[in-house]
Amino acid sequence: MAKSSTGLAAADLEAKTNEELEKELAKSKEALFNMRFQSATGQLETNHRIPQVKRDIARILTILRERELGIREVPAAK
């Protein structure tokens, strides 16, 4: 499977629980907000990271939605 440079591969995300995914989602959204703010002020040096973080957020939301619909199973708690 494809892996982004942020380290969030779909296979890695599938193995996480919903709570872990929610934490990862919040962290990614915060990172995106900070990058957008830096971009607006001209301080962002790595513009290519914004689309990568957006894709990571979409991956997380997709997995959460599929679990909600019963398409994917939630892994057993560790």
In this prediction, residue 19 has a pLDDT band, given cuts at 50, 70 and 90, of very high
Give the pLDDT of residue 78.
Answer: 63
What confidence tens digit (pLDDT) does each residue in 36-72 have? 999 999 999 999 999 999 999 999 999 999 999 999 8
φ, ψ dihedrals at 69, nearest 5° = -85, -10
Domain boundaries, the chain: 17-69
Higher per-residue confidence, 63 vs 9? 63
The mean predicted confidence, pLDDT, of the chain is: 89
Helix, strand and coil content of the chain, in percent to the nearest 5, comes to: 65, 0, 35
Above 50 in pLDDT, residue 1? no
Above 70 in pLDDT, residue 27? yes
Fold of 17-69: Helix Hairpins (1.10.287)
Give the pLDDT of residue 75.
Answer: 84
CA distance 58 to 13: 12
CA distance 77 to 5: 27
